[in-house]
Amino acid sequence: MAELDYKVVVGLEIHVHLCTKTKMFCGCALSFGEEANSRVCPVCLGMPGVLPVMNKQALEYAIMVAMALNCEIAEFTKWDRKSYYYPDLPKNYQISQYDLPLSANGFIEIPLEGGKTKRIGIIRAHLEEDAGKNVHSEANFSQVDLNRAGTPLLEIVTCPDMNSASEVRALAVELQRIVRYLGVSEGDMQKGHMRFEPNINLIITKNGAEYKTPIAEVKNLNSFRALERSVEYEVQRQLDEFAETGKTIETGNKTTRGWVDEREVTVLQRKKEEAPDYRYFPEPDLVPVKLTKEWLAEIRGHLCELPINKQIRYVTEYKLSDYDAGVLTAERFTAEFFEQSVAAGGEPKRVCNLLTQTGLKIAKERGCGVCDLGIKAESLSELSKIVESGTVSSSAAVSIFEAMVETGKEPDILAEELNLIQKSDAGELELIVEHVLADNAKAVKDVKIGGKKSKKAHGFLLGQVMQKTRGQANPKVVSEILDKKLG
Amino acid sequence: MMAKRIDEAQVRKVAKLSRLALTEAEVEEFTEQLSAILDYAEKMNELDTENVEPLAHCLPINNVFRDDCIKESLGTEKTLANAPQRDGEFFKVPKILDGSGG
Ligand SMILES: [Zn+2]
């Protein structure tokens, strides 16, 4: 085969459900798992003569996300009708935003391997309403459930700035982290709170000439895994297709493809010979929105430190690894709990270890967050301090942590109750060390000879002392005494 | 007679987008009618709009909101009461073959 090099180009369209109490234009409660068609009213059913009214909370949530994505917020924004016919769309149009979206021209920083970040452009973010759900039965008809119709939906369109499947995944995960931090969406994939549609093509360089493959859009992906795998699949498929047909963006059509989860392949849905004609026009039933400086300032006041900024700060300020910083900042309340513990005097790395190695494990077993374990940040800080001072060992800290969750008692009390306080009293330990040395003449000799054997023998003697004290001796103090006696 | 502002091909396209089956006679009739309507609207272009701001809505008001408070929904039985066909708690519709939704 001729020399061939290629670059992957991906842009992403993301739909996010906002976690308001009610729908975008009517007072129906948002639903998940209720009886079909129970959460609908004349407005979201598209009955004639009804009037939609905007949910102010949904608009404010959408603006918060747009601000977090560094977008320019429009001073004036309006609604448009997007017309198409589908059984899950009762009005035969979707209320959306066309020429005056509420925000545009932003960017998102996504974390990459090794603590690096990459900036991905955001073309626009606008608000719209979701459609209902078609249930495709085995029989020769379909079922329609309109409970979801009218759910506030934020559509975010990125620039084609991603160049690998892992970058696409990183963006999706980062966006989930942002909307959860802001508290504007649960971002629960299983409940369909986030849906992804990547636009993928390749720039192929062959014998010094450059070719672009036709763009494929993969519809409606609802897991990070499907998103990442579908991009990987498309890259290979487009390479194969180019080798076979030589089709380029100029000679081939843009296609829409679906993802088949069981087989992990994309399949052709339709060729876009002409762009779909949605006949957008201004929504006459809804008046426009004017956003004043004062209002925007108030909304901005609800933002918080963004997760990626926290993650970077944890590395620079607390000297944590990028991995640890990522684990701690995955969820806002874990991050805040960590910060409170550090503010209460805990040494960051030690608090981090207690949280990531023990706290998150217990929380996972109990199916809750670390901040729901009933432990105060001050108590965690205390625990880190008694490990730091050598009062208890780090393995004892795990037992104390578990007991804190069980009993709600303070770490110092538990350390005593559970007999986990390390013996650091040099006088007492010295006696034990002397006994051990007297009983192990061979090891003592080995230590004194020096070399490889010496280290091993030293470890053996330390182990003997620990055994004699049933693990309660402070190994650091014992080691010092050993060095003194043998040195 | 003025030049037609819309031709039969466009009428057929709009009808197709609107899922309307028109007879040949109707295509001809609506081509005339729609052209006449567009001619009438064209009169607007005689006005000088040089210094007029684009209008997004005919009402001179903005920012009509409601609070995020739950109101009672209809419930499944009432919702389906007027449905031409139902299947359990679902609306029953002809089988959907391709994902031509937006
Ligand atoms: Zn409703």
* Chain A residues near residue B85 by CB distance under 8 angstroms: 141
- Choose among A147, A130, A247: nearest CA to B79: A147
For the CA atoms of chain B, what is the radius of gyration? 22
For residues A159 and A417, give the distance between their C-alpha atoms in angstroms, rounded to a whole number: 59
Residue A51: is its pLDDT beyond 60? yes
What one-letter code names the amino acid at A325? Answer: A
B53 backbone dihedrals φ, ψ, rounded to 5°: -70, 145
Closest residue of chain B to A275, computed from CA coordinates: B102
Residue B30: is its pLDDT beyond 90? yes
Q: Which two tokens stand for residue A360?
A: 């998150």
Put simply, the answer to whether B64 touches A144 (Cβ < 8 Å) is: no
Rounded to 5°, the CA angle A32-A33-A36 comes to 105
Rounded to 5°, the CA angle A431-A433-A435 comes to 75
Indicate whether B98 belongs to any domain: no
Contact A148, A128 (CB under 8 A): no
For residues A135 and A30, give the distance between their C-alpha atoms in angstroms, rounded to a whole number: 19
* Residue A46 sits at the chain B interface (C-beta within 8 Å): no
CA of B16 to the centre of ligand 1 (A): 30
| Partner-chain residue, chosen from B72, B76, B101, that has the shortest CB–CB distance to A37 | B76
For residues A154 and A125, give the distance between their C-alpha atoms in angstroms, rounded to a whole number: 7
Residue B100: is its pLDDT beyond 80? no
β pairing state of A254-260 and A216-218:
parallel
Stretch (H or E) spanning A37: none
Put simply, the answer to whether B93 touches A142 (Cβ < 8 Å) is: yes
Indicate whether B33 belongs to any domain: yes
Indicate whether B75 belongs to any domain: no
Q: Tens digit of pLDDT for each residue in A204-218?
A: 999 889 999 999 999
Structure letter (DSSP) for residue B56: S
Total domain count, chain B: 1
Indicate whether B26 belongs to any domain: yes
CA of B75 to the centre of ligand 1 (A): 10
Residue A390: is its pLDDT beyond 90? no
Q: State mean pLDDT over A310-339.
A: 96
Closest residue of chain A to B66, computed from CA coordinates: A55
Indicate whether B101 belongs to any domain: no
CATH number, residue B41: 1.10.20.60
Closest residue of chain B to A134, computed from CA coordinates: B96
Q: Which two tokens stand for residue A308?
A: 């990626």
A473 backbone dihedrals φ, ψ, rounded to 5°: -80, 145
Put simply, the answer to whether A143 touches B68 (Cβ < 8 Å) is: no
Structural domains of chain A, ranges and CATH numbers in brackets: 4-295 (no CATH), 307-417 (no CATH), 426-486 (1.10.10.410)
Predicted pLDDT at A482: 86
Put simply, the answer to whether A88 touches B70 (Cβ < 8 Å) is: no
Predicted pLDDT at A251: 92
* Chain B residues near residue A78 by CB distance under 8 angstroms: 56-57
Q: Tens digit of pLDDT for each residue in A255-289?
A: 999 999 999 999 998 766 566 789 999 999 999 99
* Chain B residues near residue A40 by CB distance under 8 angstroms: 73-74, 79
Q: Tens digit of pLDDT for each residue in A69-111?
A: 999 999 999 999 999 888 899 999 999 999 999 999 999 999 9
Predicted pLDDT at B97: 65
Put simply, the answer to whether B96 touches A22 (Cβ < 8 Å) is: no
- Choose among B19, B79, B91: nearest CA to A137: B91
Put simply, the answer to whether A282 touches B57 (Cβ < 8 Å) is: yes
Query: Is the ipTM beyond the 0.85 threshold?
Result: yes
Contact A269, B41 (CB under 8 A): no
Percent of chain A with pLDDT over 90: 75
Put simply, the answer to whether A86 touches B102 (Cβ < 8 Å) is: yes
More confident residue, A459 or A150: A150
- Report CA A349 to chain centroid distance, whole Å: 22
Indicate whether B4 belongs to any domain: yes
Residue ranges of A 266-295 with Cβ closer than 8 A to chain B: 269-270, 276-279, 282, 284, 286-290
For the CA atoms of chain A, what is the radius of gyration? 30
Residue A387: is its pLDDT beyond 50? yes
Residue A66: is its pLDDT beyond 80? yes
* Chain B residues near residue A286 by CB distance under 8 angstroms: 57, 64
Place of tokens 């559509």: A155
* CA distance readout (Å), A195 to A155, A172, A366: 10, 10, 28
Domain boundaries, position B8: 1-46
| Partner-chain residue, chosen from B69, B79, B99, that has the shortest CB–CB distance to A269 | B99
Indicate whether B60 belongs to any domain: no
Residue B99: is its pLDDT beyond 50? no
Put simply, the answer to whether A141 touches B95 (Cβ < 8 Å) is: yes
Indicate whether B35 belongs to any domain: yes
Q: What integer best gives the mean pLDDT of chain A?
A: 93
Percent of chain B with pLDDT over 70: 90
| Sheet-wide strand order for B90-94 | A133-136, A141-145, B90-94, B86-87
Q: How many residues does chain A have?
A: 487
